[in-house]
Amino acid sequence: MNAVINYFSEIIGGFKTLLQGMGITGKHFIRARKEIITQQYPDNRDTLTFEDRYRAQVYMEHDENNEHRCDACQTCEIACPNGSIEIIFDRVVDPKTGKKKKVLDKHIYHLGMCTLCNLCVLACPTNAIKMSHEFETAVYDRSELTKALNKPGSKLKE
């Protein structure tokens, strides 16, 4: 007899919690924003907008002379928690000082390994890399997710 009472009390308790959850959902449904929030992608590709804080992938800024600000300090590579950035550099003698300095050869970015955490951008002392809003990155071959961020023939901005 005691088992039957426990059984029905659990059913009644479950029904109460169901009603509580439905009440919370109903309140949010009634108080919801009236404007449309859902974006109809890809139909609105031309008018698609993003918040400033939206992060999609890393890119390197170049100016009109194909110059960048990356001095190959490797801070972004060290800050990356899962190794999605590789800096390949050469040591070249600076004619002004006579000392060796790093010169960027390739700034390699593995989008397939990136968690879009923004730690590399925050760590960069020269603001050479930034997060873009480019989100269409679907590819058939995973090797296409590896990119060289510095453009061919680019050099360090003075």
Q: What is the pLDDT of residues 23-79, one digit of tens each?
A: 999 988 888 777 667 778 888 888 888 888 888 899 999 999 999 999 999 999 999
For 112, the domain range is: 57-156
pTM of the predicted protein model: 0.70
Q: Is residue 46 part of a domain?
A: no
Q: Is residue 64 part of a domain?
A: yes
- How far is the C-alpha of 104 from the C-alpha of 11, rounded, in Å? 68
Q: What is the pLDDT of residues 10-26, one digit of tens each?
A: 999 999 999 999 999 99
Q: Is residue 12 part of a domain?
A: no
Q: What is the pLDDT of residues 82-141, one digit of tens each?
A: 999 999 999 999 888 889 999 999 999 999 999 999 999 999 999 999 999 888 888 999
In the chain, the number of structural domains is: 1
Angle CA(60)–CA(44)–CA(28) in degrees, nearest 5? 100
Q: Is residue 25 part of a domain?
A: no
- Nearest C-alpha neighbor of 133 from the set 73, 63, 74, 51: 51
